[in-house]
Structure 1
Amino acid sequence: MKRIWYALILLLLSVSVSRADAVSINHFIVKENPFARQEIAIVATDTANQIQENINGHYTFTINGFENDLVFQNGTAFYRHKVNRSAFMFIKHQSESGTFSTLFYIYKHGDKLSPVHISWVWLVAIPLIIVFAGYLFKRFIVIAVVVIILWMYFNHHNGLSLSTFFESIFDGLKHLITG
Structure 2
Amino acid sequence: MSIKTVCTFLLLLMAGFAQAAEVHINQFILKENPFAKDEVAIVATDSAGTIQENINGLFNFTINGFQEELKFENGTAFYHHKLDKSSFLYLKHKDDFSSHANLFYIFKHDSKLDPYKISWKVLVAVPLILVLLGYMFKRFIIIAIVIFCVFSYFNYHGGMSLGTFFETIFDGLKHVF
TM-score category (smaller protein) = over 0.9
State how 1:28-47 maps to structure 2 within 5 Å: 28-47=28-47
Structure 1 residue 158: Cα displacement: 0.8
1:118 has 2:104 as partner: no
Structure 1 residue 133: Cα displacement: 1.2
Q: Aligned Cα RMSD in Å?
A: 1.2
1:143 has 2:143 as partner: yes
Structure 1 residue 92: Cα displacement: 0.1
Q: Secondary structure at the match of 2:99?
A: strand
Q: Secondary structure at the match of 2:4?
A: helix
1:152 has 2:152 as partner: yes
> How far apart, CA to CA, are the structure 1 residues paired with 2:38 and 2:128?
34
Per the alignment, residue 18 of structure 2 pairs with 18
Q: Secondary structure at the match of 1:50?
A: coil
Query: What amino acid sits opposite 2:124 in the alignment?
Result: V
Per the alignment, residue 131 of structure 1 pairs with 131
Structure 1 residue 16: Cα displacement: 1.4
> How far apart, CA to CA, are the structure 1 residues paired with 2:112 and 2:15?
49
1:12-43 C-alpha deviation (Å, 9 max, x unpaired):
22111111220100000000001111000000
The runs of at least 4 aligned residues of structure 1 exceeding 4 Å deviation read none
State how 1:76-91 maps to structure 2 within 5 Å: 76-91=76-91
1:116-141 C-alpha deviation (Å, 9 max, x unpaired):
00000000001111111112111121
Structure 1 residue 82: Cα displacement: 0.6
> How far apart, CA to CA, are the structure 1 residues paired with 2:69 and 2:107?
24
State how 1:102-113 maps to structure 2 within 5 Å: 102-113=102-113
Q: Secondary structure at the match of 2:94?
A: strand
1:117-176 C-alpha deviation (Å, 9 max, x unpaired):
000000000111111111211112111111101110110111110010000000000001
Q: Secondary structure at the match of 2:69?
A: strand
CA contact (8 A) 1:24 1:96 kept: no
Aligned length: 177
TM-score by length of 2: 0.96
Q: Secondary structure at the match of 1:92?
A: strand
CA contact (8 A) 1:40 1:79 kept: yes
TM-score by length of 1: 0.95
Q: Which runs of 5+ in 2 are unaligned?
A: none
Per the alignment, residue 63 of structure 2 pairs with 63
CA contact (8 A) 1:44 1:75 kept: yes
